[in-house]
């Protein structure tokens, strides 16, 4: 199966599972469940679920269905976007061309829908897996989404926006935690559903870290270089906001060099993994040259 066919198959499986595993929109309170579904079904790249599924696919032998883990991590990602869009955070009216949750519903409903999606991720893992691998999946997710990783990265990002002189160390903390943490967790969770051993899990984590850093640096490069039409969102937003970005700190060429280095490190991490890693190799290569 070629890369695009495989990618689209993973996305289609994820979308079906999201619809299947989320409580119906009529579940009481209906407004809350409608808002949860509205935000989850906004589409998007489904990068984290795709990583769960592609990591699980590397392994042969006894496996648990990775789809529930894929849905759980997308619930956490979506909660973080809903809260990030709120007026007290980034105050965004649109996401992927549709009104954000607090615009479509209201702030309170968006806040609670985010809270509910975070909680539901743990609920799903607890209900669909036995204690092994369920407990390890929940531990991985709680750590990656926690105050020293995802939420910590969001907090530092917010603090950094208020000052134009964030340091390279501060920016690295943000990239590693706001972006790479959940990408790492997706790969590790995929491995956990397939009973990967400690060495394999470490390889997945290393690959995820480098993929996450590549992803974020390329994001900064695109914000500085692409036009809004190609990007599908407002370009130049970071520079306009006076925000410290990777490009501002290291220059365009420096940023490109770093992106290539992290890609190379990601590819090196792949060599430690079993199975057919072609899909993950192509994913990181496409990540590097993407235009939007």
Phi then psi for residue 28, to 5 deg, are: -70, 135
Window 8-47: contact mask with a copy of itself (x via CB under 8 A): ---------------x---xxx-xxx--x-----------
Long-range CB contacts (within 8 A, 24+) of 4-13: 6/54, 6/279, 7/50, 7/279, 7/283, 10/46, 10/49, 10/50, 10/53, 10/54, 11/46, 11/49, 11/50, 13/53, 13/67, 13/70
Query: Using the rule CB under 8 A, is 82 a contact of a copy of itself?
Result: no
By CB under 8 A, tell whether 172 contacts a copy of itself: no
Q: Which residue, 131 or 229, is less far from a copy of itself as judged by CB?
A: 131
Residue selected from 25, 63, 89, 267 as contacting a copy of itself according to rule CB under 8 A: 89
Q: Is residue 246 near a copy of itself by the rule CB under 8 A?
A: no
Question: Pick from 66, 134, 190, 203: which binds a copy of itself (CB under 8 A)?
Answer: 134
Assess 135 for contact with a copy of itself (CB under 8 A). yes
105 contacts a copy of itself (rule: CB under 8 A)? no
Residue numbers at the binding site for a copy of itself (CB under 8 A) = 23, 27-29, 31-33, 36, 79, 83, 86, 88-89, 106-109, 111-112, 114-116, 118-120, 122-123, 126-127, 131-132, 134-135, 138-139, 141-143, 145-148, 151-152, 154-156, 158-159, 173
């Amino acid at each position: 199966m070629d890369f695009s066919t495989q990618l689209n198959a993973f996305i289609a499986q994820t979308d079906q599972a999201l619809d299947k595993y989320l409580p119906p929109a009529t579940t009481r309170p209906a407004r809350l469940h409608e808002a949860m579904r509205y935000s989850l079904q906004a589409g998007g790249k489904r990068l984290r679920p795709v990583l769960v599924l592609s990591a699980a696919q590397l392994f042969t032998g006894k496996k648990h269905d990775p789809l529930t883990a894929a849905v759980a991590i997308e619930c956490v990602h979506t909660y973080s976007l809903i809260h990030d869009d709120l007026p007290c955070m980034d105050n965004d009216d649109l996401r992927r061309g549709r009104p954000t949750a607090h615009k479509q519903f209201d702030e309170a409903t968006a806040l609670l829908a985010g809270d509910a999606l975070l909680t539901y991720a743990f609920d799903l893992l607890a209900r669909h897996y036995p204690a092994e691998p369920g407990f390890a999946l929940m531990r991985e997710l709680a750590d990656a989404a926690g105050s020293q990783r995802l939420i910590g990265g969001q907090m530092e990002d917010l603090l950094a926006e208020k000052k134009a002189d964030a340091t390279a160390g501060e920016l690295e903390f943000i990239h590693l935690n706001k972006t790479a943490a959940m990408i790492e967790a997706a790969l590790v969770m995929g491995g956990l559903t397939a009973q990967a051993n400690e060495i394999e899990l470490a390889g997945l984590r290393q690959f995820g870290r480098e993929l996450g850093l590549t992803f974020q640096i390329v994001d900064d490069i695109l914000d500085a270089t692409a036009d809004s039409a190609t990007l599908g969102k407002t370009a130049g937003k970071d520079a306009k906001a006076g925000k410290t970005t990777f490009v501002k700190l290291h220059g365009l060429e420096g940023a490109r060099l770093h992106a290539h280095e992290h890609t190379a490190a990601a590819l090196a991490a792949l060599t430690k993994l079993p199975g057919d890693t072609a899909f993950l190799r192509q994913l990181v290569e496409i990540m590097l040259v993407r235009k939007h």
